Structure 1
Amino acid sequence: MDTNRPPLFCDLGLAERIERAEAHLVAKGTEAAHRRRGDGAGFLKPISGAVAAFAEDGSPLNKVAGLGFGGVPDAEALEEIEHAFADRGVAVLVELAHLADPAIGDMLTQRGYRLTSYENVLGLSLAGGYERVEPDGVTVRESGDEEFERWLEVVVDGFAHPDAQGVPSHEEFPYEVMAAAVRDLVGAAGMKRYSALRGGVVVGGAGFRTAAGIAQLTGAATAPAHRRRGVQTALLSARLADAAASGCDIAVITTQPGSKSQENAQRQGFHLLYTRAVLLKQG
């Protein structure tokens, strides 16, 4: 565990870089969902440097991501997106970084968006490399295609049974919908997968992808019966070591405020960079 790295200072440039990577990830997963379904029901629309995405009914990818660093969207552009979501019978969900242009938050409030939740974005400098840490009894390996279904089962089941610590998530998704979204992201976004084992059994899974020197740590979950045994610590350190070796200069993770995931990340040296407000407007 390396907790001696200096904390990152998140200026507007770094926040924009991270939000662009997030928008790209959402776009890739949404495009994969559209190809899988082939029914033309989804959409992916650019808006002021961000993306408005609808992958399929109930998908966690249905959102506006990356807004706030490419100018204030005009009312006409927002109205077009709001109609697109309304035509599909869903609310508009916007994730807005607190470092974004304040005029956007004001504009959304005036249009009837309401604050529903927050999520934290934490970062860690990878300068100088990173060493793996494996607690006793836990091993981590890259996850191959032959065990993909087991990896997927563990990850999606972990999402379905979130840790009770911290602020609860504002979202819940059916197993089948979450599994489809994870498949789409893995297949389209160039995600590298890892499995954590105890006693030779896969009990945890995680992934990461690189985008413009950023390692986005995604999809980390542990089977409920195997929590509090160092599985997340092992998965996190393995990804950090490989991300540093691949040339990334920063690792980023998104957590629920006050969650066990945030606690584990901060124990590994992550620091809070900024918070996203989750805003919702019913159709």
Structure 2
Amino acid sequence: MSIDRLPLFCDPTLAERIERAEAQLVTASSEAARARRADAAGFVIPVSGGVASFTDEDSPFNKVAGLGFAGVPQTTVLDEVERAFAACGAPVQVELANLADPAIGVLLTERGYRLVSFENVLGRSLTGQPERVTPPGIQVRRIADGELDAWLDVVVEAFMHPDTEGLPQHEEFPREAIERAERDFVAAQGVACYFALVDGVIAGGASMRMAEGVAQFGAATLPAYRRRGVQTALLSARVADAAAAGCDIAVVTTQPGSKSQQNVQRRGFDLLYTRAILVKQP
């Protein structure tokens, strides 16, 4: 059998670096939210190498991220985290990588956490100068000054109409919460935003955040322009930009079995690991 390339192998060391970058992203977004509100509401609590964050009501950044690679959390720390979320009237949602310490899953289950869903983390090694692939009629560019609101409009609108292929998302967010979260995410240091245009019309948007050599990608396409190569063009542009900036790996998070997962795998991304989503109600 002819093999053009070896799949990217993810060991616990690489998973820890990716999860650390994710925890940093959540922390930066939470801090941006507090700066936007100009108050001390919300919290970020360190938890065994990860963070527990509450940003805003209904925010996708209300979660425990990056947990599992710095030992099993102490019960007193989990007590503090659960009290903090309960005081906000919110459940505790833990995103736990399957390469993390297995004892943590046992501990959370014993404390009443329930498995509700999964998400996949895919990655691609960045070497050399990756080719930029742009299907006919599609243009990709970074957003210009003054275009953030237009970028938010397209990304939020696309997010509100998710693809129905693959495992469904386990939670839904109000439009206002998504817009606030995206605005806070962009305000976090090191985020680049992109437009994709089809025949001159804005059809999708994407983001890239770089930390510790990891380029974290997010993207969304308006329903009317899906299956036309928009994601291919956005992926290609960001892969090239991330490699040029010195990153050695790009990562994407998708719903298992989704069209997004299929798209990124076609562009050379490999399934690295899965996160289990465990929730404890207040």
Q: How many residues align?
A: 280
Give the Cα–Cα distance (whole angstroms) in 2 for the partners of residues 52 and 84 of structure 1. Answer: 9
Equivalent pairs: percent with the same residue? 64
Amino acid at match of 1:215: A
Distance of 2:64 and 2:5 partners within structure 1: 33
Partner Cα distance (2:217, 2:50) in 1? 20
Q: Is the 8 A contact 1:150 1:202 kept in 2?
A: no
The answer on whether the counterparts of 1:42 and 1:56 sit within 8 Å (CA) in structure 2 is yes
Q: Deviations over 1:49-98 (max 9, x none)?
A: 11000001110000000000011001110011000000110100000000
Question: Quick one: distance in 2 between partners of 1:274 and 1:54?
Answer: 25
In structure 2, C-alpha distance between the alignment counterparts of 1:189 and 1:61, rounded to whole Å: 16
Distance in 2, Cα, partners of 1:4 & 1:178: 40
**Equivalence for 1:157:** 157
Aligned to 1:25: 25
How big is the shift at 1:237? Answer: 0.5
CA deviations on 1:16-73 (whole Å, 9 max, x unpaired) are 0000000000000001111111332201111111100000111000000000001100
Aligned residue number for residue 71 of structure 2: 71
Code of the residue aligned with 2:86 in structure 1: it is: A
Query: Following the alignment from structure 2 to structure 1, what is the Cα–Cα distance between the partners of residues 177 and 39?
Result: 16
CA distance in 1, matches of 2:182, 2:52: 19
How far 1:200 moved relative to its partner? 1.1
Please give the residue correspondences for 1:224-235 in structure 2 after superposition, counting only pairs within 5 Å: 224-235=223-234
Is 2:112 aligned against 1:112? yes
Q: 1-side partners of 2:193 and 2:80: how far apart?
A: 37
Instruction: Please tell me the residue identity of whatever aligns with 2:280.
Output: K
Residue 49, structure 1, aligned to residue 49, structure 2: yes
RMSD: 1.0
Whether the aligned pair in 2 keeps the contact of 1:5 and 1:269 (CA below 8 Å) is no
Matched with 1:247 is 246
Provide the secondary structure at the position in 1 that maps to 2:66.
Answer: strand
Match of 1:80, SS state, is: helix
2:100 equivalent in structure 1:
100
Q: What are the residue-to-residue correspondences of 1:103-182 with 2, within 5 Å?
A: 103-182=103-182
Pairwise CA distance, 1:201? 1.3
Show structure 2 runs of 5+ residues with no match.
none
Q: Give the secondary structure class of the aligned counterpart of 1:208.
A: strand
Deviation, structure 1 residue 145: 2.2
Aligned letter for 1:232? Q
C-alpha distance in 2, partners of 1:141/1:199?
Answer: 14
Say whether the 8 Å CA contact 1:4–1:269 is kept in structure 2. Answer: no
Letter in 1 for 2:188: A
CA distance in 2, matches of 1:141, 1:40: 36
Alpha-carbon distance in structure 2 between the residues aligned to 1:73 and 1:64: 12
1:279 aligns with 2:271: no
Match of 2:257 in 1: 258
**Which deviates more, 32-41 or 175-184?**
32-41
The one-letter code matched in structure 2 to 1:87 is: A
User: Which one-letter code corresponds to 1:33 in the other structure?
Assistant: A
**8 Å contact 1:205–1:222 — kept in the other structure?**
yes
Q: Deviations over 1:88-127 (max 9, x none)?
A: 1010000000000001000000000000000000010111
CA contact 1:165–1:260 (8 Å) conserved in 2: yes
- Please give the secondary structure, in 1, of the residue aligned with 2:93: strand
Give the equivalent residue in structure 2 for 1:205. 205
